[in-house]
Amino acid sequence: MDLQTLMKEAVAEAAVKEISDGMIVGLGSGSTAALMIKNLALLINSGKLKNIQGVPTSFQSEVLALELGIPLVDLTSVSEIDLAIDGADEVDNNFQLIKGGGACHVREKLVATKANKLLIVVDETKLVDDLNKEFPLPVEVLPVAWKQVKDTIENMNAVSSLRMANKKAGPVVTDQGNLILDVLFKEGIRNPKIVESEINNLPGVLENGLFVDLTEKVLVGKIENNSPKVVSLCK
Ligand code: 5RP
């Protein structure tokens, strides 16, 4: 198994220790969150955790949770979520995040903002000093608006590309039926709060992957002396 997967497994196993009986849990998306969902299913199916309800953040997490027998509840049917656990593509020193590598950031942000706590689980490759120097910011746009939004964003000192699908001709289509622009600001993102709202104010944009002031705890998987280790970072 490669080192990154070992780090992801370690952090996924640590994350489910934060779940207790009776909780409504936001189920994140991506490969690290999928490992967390598998660990959660093991605890539920062995009777170690009781009365858990999961709120999926994507088609991916919904299918996985259903297959593993995790009871699910709709985002619309809950007034609050006790704890959401999700991955991230970049985490800066102030715990601001870029998410949406899996094109799921719309529902991920809905779940995160309804959750009393958002626990982020990453391997150490996701920690950065400055956001968006390397990982492009995912922006979900209405299909009819993609070119207009792309042109507007490119006048904001950024480059962007329409995310294309694998094993399907044409673009990635999100769970909501929209498209994704991946945006790299030429100088990175220094003020995520301002950039988040500027992009979301463009006509045709549904949501972008900046998660600002949404988490106070990040579990980081590392490799030390050839073995995986988890470090908990708290604000
Ligand atoms: C999906 C996400 C994921 O949480 C993010 O892309 C991290 O994924 P992975 O754990 O596979 O690296 O935001 O939209």
Strand 24-27 with 53-56, pairing = parallel
Domains of the chain: 3-128+213-234 (3.40.50.1360), 137-207 (3.30.70.260)
Protein residue closest via CA to atom 6 of ligand 1:
101
Protein residue closest via CA to atom 8 of ligand 1:
30
Q: For ligand 1, what atom is nearest to the CA of residue 101?
A: 6
Q: Is the pLDDT of residue 224 over 80?
A: yes
Q: What percentage of residues in the chain have a pLDDT greater than 70?
A: 100
54 lines ligand 1 (CB under 6 A): no
222 lines ligand 1 (CB under 6 A): no
Q: Which residues contact 171 (CB under 8 A, 6 or more apart)?
A: 146, 162, 163, 164, 165, 179, 180
Pick the catalytic residue: 13, 90, 108, 207?
A: 108
Residue 108 annotated in active site: yes
pLDDT at 39: 98
Q: How sure is the predictor about 105, in pLDDT bands with cuts at 50, 70 and 90?
A: very high
pLDDT at 44: 98
pLDDT at 226: 87
Q: Is the pLDDT of residue 202 over 90?
A: yes
Q: For ligand 1, what atom is nearest to the CA of residue 104?
A: 14
Q: Convert the pLDDT of each residue in 142-191 to its tens digit.
A: 999 999 999 999 999 999 999 999 999 999 999 999 999 999 999 999 99
pLDDT at 124: 96
Q: Is the pLDDT of residue 9 over 80?
A: yes
26 lines ligand 1 (CB under 6 A): no
Q: What percentage of residues in the chain have a pLDDT greater than 90?
A: 99
56 lines ligand 1 (CB under 6 A): no
pLDDT at 63: 98
Q: Is the pLDDT of residue 119 over 90?
A: yes
> pTM above the 0.75 mark?
yes
What is the mean predicted confidence (pLDDT) over 49-76?
98
Chain centroid to CA 184: 18
- E strand or H helix that includes residue 13: helix 3-15
Start-to-end CA span in the chain (Å): 32
Q: Is the pLDDT of residue 198 over 80?
A: yes
123 lines ligand 1 (CB under 6 A): no
Q: Average pLDDT, whole number, for the chain?
A: 97
